[in-house]
């Protein structure tokens, strides 16, 4: 998300449309809207007023330090039923370690985690050559074991 790439909301006034477009899930229209918002004096004045009223516009340092980056830059897709946890819990585990979870498989997917009775996502992963992990391998990975072996 956009929030992962900034420390303070007002930092966005220094970003170009091209910089914004480089972020995942941000195209030209959204980038232009963000750029225009942060180059409008009334909006900047409103942000300052909110800050003056005590609204936090910057991340707490402690929040940043808590988040691990073990899975940073990796995207996971889940298919089939997991025994260890719900899909939402698995997603939270990945995100808490800096990874991302997608609902669809693409060439940009790092791993497809396969549970019982996997669906078409498994077939697509095979077709695209995406690395497939079973539940046990996934759990080892998020505990920090074998990550170099799996990525390389």
Q: Which domain CATH number covers 124?
A: 3.40.50.10190
Query: Which pLDDT score is estimated for 2?
Result: 79
Residues 50 and 73 in one domain: no
Residues 80 and 126 in one domain: yes
Residues 56 and 112 in one domain: no
Residue 44 has pLDDT above 70, yes or no: yes
144: left (phi over 0), alpha (psi -120 to 50) or beta: left
Residues 75 and 54 in one domain: no
Q: Answer for the pair 57, 51: CB distance below 8 angstroms, yes or no.
A: yes
- How many domains does the chain contain in total? 2
Whether the predicted model's global pTM rises above the 0.75 cut: no
Residues 82 and 143 in one domain: yes
Residues 73 and 52 in one domain: no
| Average pLDDT of the residues of the chain | 86
Residues 21 and 38 in one domain: yes
Summarised one tens digit per residue, pLDDT across range 137-148 is 999 888 764 444
Query: Which pLDDT score is estimated for 144?
Result: 64
Summarised one tens digit per residue, pLDDT across range 84-124 is 888 889 998 898 888 999 999 999 999 999 999 999 999 99
């Amino acid at each position: 998300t956009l929030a992962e790439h900034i420390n303070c909301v007002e930092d966005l006034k220094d970003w170009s449309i091209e910089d914004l477009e480089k972020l995942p899930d941000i195209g030209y229209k959204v980038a232009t809207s963000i750029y225009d918002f942060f180059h409008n004096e009334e909006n900047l004045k409103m942000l300052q007023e909110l800050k003056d009223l005590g609204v936090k516009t910057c991340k707490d340092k402690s929040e940043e330090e808590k988040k691990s980056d073990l899975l940073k830059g990796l995207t996971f897709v889940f298919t089939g039923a997991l025994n260890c946890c719900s899909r939402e819990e698995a997603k939270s585990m990945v995100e808490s370690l800096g990874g991302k979870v997608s609902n669809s498989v693409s060439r940009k997917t790092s791993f497809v985690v396969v549970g019982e009775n996997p669906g078409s996502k498994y077939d697509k992963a095979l077709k695209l050559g995406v690395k497939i992990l079973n539940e046990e391998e996934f759990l080892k990975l998020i505990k920090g074991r074998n990550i170099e072996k799996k990525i390389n």
